[in-house]
Structure 1
Amino acid sequence: MKLQHHIGGLEGLDPINFETKVFVEPWEKRIFGIHTAMMALSNHLGESRPNYPIGQVPTQFKSFWTWGHLRMGAEGMNPFEYFRLRYYEKWLGGISGFFVEEGYITQEELDARTAQYLEDSEAAPLPSGGDPAIDDQLLKYLTEGDSPLRPSTDTPKFSLGDRVRVKQVLSGDHTRLPGHIRGRAAEVVKVYEGAFTYFFPTADGIGTPMPVYSLAFKATDLWNKALTDDNMVYYNDIFEVYLEAL
């Protein structure tokens, strides 16, 4: 697993960015909008909750795209590039690479269009137009979302107050398990109702609906005592497949 998933409590990652603005540059809003539109037009929405009539939406985007895919693209980056680039620069790289991989544009076409905008953005205006049916789908998605909650079919393995240990799951692919809590003990402080799925199956076991728990870790069990104190508690929500009885 890449370095960027083991940074919980890691020292020396200066400089720390305390920027509070959601969007620092105007182009970042457009990247966020593109990502949102891709999620709202993803081909999996016909089987999601709520169900969307995505096959009737007149869009040329026919691919599978979710938050998970965006995160997977960031995880595939070289760790040094990951820390060098700003937040929406990572998004831009992942989304651009996805469109090339899916065949919507070639790398040569992307490079040529990029050079055109860099040379004179006013001479290369952005596309205009749109389709009201696509706009309606985007607004519906923004309002109703894409819920991972499913009816519970299995009894949760753990109960409130149980002591559990996070498994040492080693995965070179996409994961939802933070590196700094692997192998650590915790207490179950909440068992969420229902079961939760993930957008797609991963090599380390998530994808099918399963219970999710809120765990409480003693901060001193995770980090050097010089960096914390005995009264600090760290919470994390974890899929059941990542846990074992202590």
Structure 2
Amino acid sequence: MKLQHNLGGLEGLDPITPELEVFVEPWEKRIFGIHTAMMALSNHLNSSRPDYKIDQVPTQFKSFWTWGHLRMGAEGIHPFEYFRLRYYEKWLGGISGFFVEEGYITQEELDARTAEILADSAKAEAPLPSGGDAAIDTQVEKYLREGDSPMRSQPAPPKFSVGDKVRIKNVAPGEHSRLPGNLKGHTAEVVKVYEGAFTYFFPTADGIGTPMPVYSLVFHAEDLWDESVTEPNVVYYNDIFEAYVEAA
């Protein structure tokens, strides 16, 4: 299992200092904007909720890109690099790798452009290109307002009800997982069954992707961590896809 999937189970990490600024460096705003535009122009939006006529938008971006792809790119980083890099540096690495994999740019072109900008700091502060297509702007603004809902109709009744005791399956995470590693094998109680079913953006090796129920589960802290690092009567809540849950 990658360390990125098991942060809640690690001990001895340095104290975390919360970053109070949303964007620390100017370039972080740009990478956030690029990611947002990629989501707004993703080719899967023809079948999403709400309905987008994405095939009518004159964009040269023809790929499938979601929050899930961004997370998968970050999880694919070497663990040492994952902990070393800042938040938006992980974004930049994942997005850059995706553009190379999809053929929009070669690694050689990316390396050459990176070296050029690093050699001339003025280029790093250059203004964004002007112009562009108004239809693309309209699509991005619509996506920002309306998003891409994961909720779907319920294909089958939930397997569990409020009050049921359940156990988290010990499934291999593969390239990408939405299951915190330190919960595997532990028992919990169902405290809420969310209405409807929820899909994930794409199928993962550990079982999510198709519409399924999602549960809010409550764990006792002493079951997850050593008593020396917990306080009495502390509980921990986590929302979990049904694919990760079995009867206790």
Distance 2:165 2:50 in 1: 35
The question of whether the paired residues in 2 share the 8 Å contact of 1:213 and 1:240 is answered with yes
Letter in structure 2 aligned against 1:110: L
Give the number of aligned pairs: 246
**Aligned mates of 1:135, 1:107 — CA distance in 2:** 28
User: Contact 1:218–1:230 (CA<8 Å) still a contact in 2?
Assistant: no
- The whole-number CA distance in structure 1 between the counterparts of 2:19 and 2:74 is 20
The partner residue of 2:230 within 228, 231, 235 is 228
Inter-partner Cα distance in structure 2 for 1:216 and 1:196: 20
- 1:84 equivalent in structure 2: 84
* Inter-CA distance 218–111: structure 2 relative to 1 (3 Å threshold): same
Give deviations 1:112-139, integer Å, cap 9, x for gaps: 1112222224358443221111110001
1:192 aligns with 2:194: yes
CA distance in 1, matches of 2:54, 2:198: 23
Is the partner of 2:122 in helix, strand or coil?
Answer: coil
- Counterparts of 1:117 and 1:134, CA distance in 2: 27
Alignment RMSD (CA, Å): 1.3
Q: Distance in 2 between matches of 1:243 and 1:177?
A: 10
The superposition leaves residues 82-139 of structure 1 with CA deviations (integer Å, 9 ceiling, x where unpaired) of 0000000000001001101111111111111112222224358443221111110001
Shift of residue 221, structure 1, vs aligned partner: 0.6
Stretches of structure 2 that go unaligned for 5 or more consecutive residues are none
- Residue matched to 2:137: 135
Q: 2:10 — aligned with what?
A: 10
Give the alignment partner of residue 145 of structure 1, picking from 144, 147, 151. 147
Match of 1:244 in 2: 246
CA distance in 2, matches of 1:159, 1:104: 47
Report Cα offsets for 1:48-96 as digits up to 9, x if no partner.
0011000000111000000000000111111000000000000000100
SS of 1:164's partner is strand
Report percent identity of matched pairs: 77
Q: How does 1:1-246 map to 2 (within 5 A)?
A: 1-14=1-14, 16-122=16-122, 125=126, 126-246=128-248
Q: Residue type matched to 1:140 in 2?
A: K
Listed as ranges, the gaps of 5+ residues in structure 1 are: none
